Chain A
Amino acid sequence: MLSTKHLLGIKDLTREDLELIFSTADQFKEVINRPIKKVPSLRDITIANIFFENSTRTKLSFELAEKRLSADVINFSSSGSSVKKGETLLDTVNNILSMKVDIIVMRHSSPGAPHFLANHIDATILNAGDGTHEHPTQAILDTYSIRERLGTVEGKKVVIVGDILHSRVALSNIFALQKLGAEVMVCGPHTLIPKYIDQLGVRVEHDLRKALEWCDVANMLRIQMERQLVKNFPSVREYSQHFGLNKELLQSLDKEIVVMHPGPINRGVEITSDVADCENAIILDQVENGVATRMAALYLLAGKQN
């Protein structure tokens, strides 16, 4: 059983929690590859997906996971809602809970928003990304995908490349990888690496080639233009020349490395098309594993509600 009632961040989970999610996801992966991809486990559960920020992959993945578990699902997005009329977050959620909702899956642009909600309402909260803070299910599916490809996460060297400063994926991945015994490095321009990130126990590198020569896995992050209030690098073209991964660079290494990307990909910026579509890339595996791991997380959280 999970040690927490909510899934707010990887920081709150134990290694045992992560391994329980993985072993449960293994069985759900088999389920989603059956002719009939549905189990009745959550048929008495209602889940609200509350997205105050844009999302394609995560929202679809959660919705599919919920439906594969036979839960009743309602979707809410802030655009075109009463939030625009001045309703507070707590009032919005309490109104949704009045409809007898058991689990809230929430994405919000403010770091800590799901933690705030968890302190004020009884329903189980699952954080689907809170600003630049955490994105726990992305880290779970990323580490699950590494485990699937390499057999284990323990002892592997993983470099996270790109916009570390604005990335909730990076922070959750750092926590998850460290809990599972991996070594972590971050790589990017000085302006996109948080000043004291080494205090999290990660290495810092500003030379992509050196980082790739060190690692077993490279997780290439998207440049988050929507969160950048100032210009952190001269141009996208210059960024891609220094920190973009292309086939030539990949083939010049004297070893095979696994290439990951949380999506959506800016082809030609952080990763070129020939790399995104090559055998080393597990980007589509990550998407498939996203459904299985989210099914596992929802199943285990629902099981705590008896």
Chain B
Amino acid sequence: MTSLSPELEAFRDRVVAFMDPHVAEYGQAARLGLSLDDDIALARRWQATKAAAGYAGLTFPTEYGGAGLTQLEQVIFVAEEAARGFPAGYFVISLSMPIPMMLRYATPEQKARFVPPALRGEQIWSQLFSEPSTGSDLAAVRTRAVRDGEDWIISGQKVWTTFAQYSDYGVIVARTDPDAPKHRGLTYFFVDLKAQGVTVRPIRQLHSAAEFNEVFFDDVRVPDAWRLGGVGDGFRLAVETLMIERYTAAADETGFGPPLDALISLAREAQLDGRPALEDGRVRAVIAQAYATQQGLLAISEKSILELAAGREPGPEGSIHKLVGARGRREVALCALDLLGTDGLRFDAAAHPRPKTDFAMSWMDQPTLRIAGGTDEMLLNTVAERILGLPQDYRPDKLPR
């Protein structure tokens, strides 16, 4: 059996040595009770700190401010970052989808202009794919882009755009040929979300915070130079973007909920049948099963790192993580809320509770996790079709015309 190389272990040691002195300022405890705005401000400072130390954009080329390392170092870094609860989430979309796509398809001038500031946390980028009429059916995009001299005029509506209210730029897929078959008439651009004609409307979610937005494009002018890839190539590029996402899906075995330790601490205080809840078999079963699941996910992550190191494509680890992590998080959160009894009802949205530290928020946010970034059903389809070779769903939209 192969294990991680001494070089990578040494990299991990360096990362740990870099991070530990910053825990007091940026770690989990420092973020408790911060408003969303303050947390984002903290995240920007942490991103700048990483950039100054050469740890932002680990896989990005050095000429654009990156570190020129591999996915492996990236995975190791992200795992250590997550373990300390540093605020990195606001830049995950920017740096794992739009910016890598710019690096692949934009001109050198554009890369030089956009990539370094994004790495320093000065810009946040959005991904504008979903629309009211599309979800998992990405090719059903209706937002139009019409050629006008050297520019394109974009009109339409995007939705479920993560952090668009804080974003400066985004990548968008728009229909440039309404007569072509639906998968072929799309083109991929990047857009200035502060431009004339762009309206961002936050969507309040069931837990009352707004991570997602509707974004309206009302004759927004975009230069042709901001097109990525060929005209009509948008669907392919969008799928490519999503594949990067699956590839880099963050590996947090708690499903982004509070750690198991928090449930144990709670169960130590709580009583069931006049005994400490920690002695209750039902609580112990939840703890044991959650532990076993989380360790299994951790092992899958570790294996995928080694697969990468061996030069092999990892499998659908990201999909499994999201699917299983979200379920495990629900079990843990429900157990915690049960132990709290009626106190479990307490929830103050104005205090901006975070799903990583607050059980009520974790439970309320769990439906989101099952949908965002690919529904459970789509992930199961991916596993069934791509790995197990089961037949594809009936797809009349893909039948030859």
Question: Is the pairing of A and B real?
Answer: no
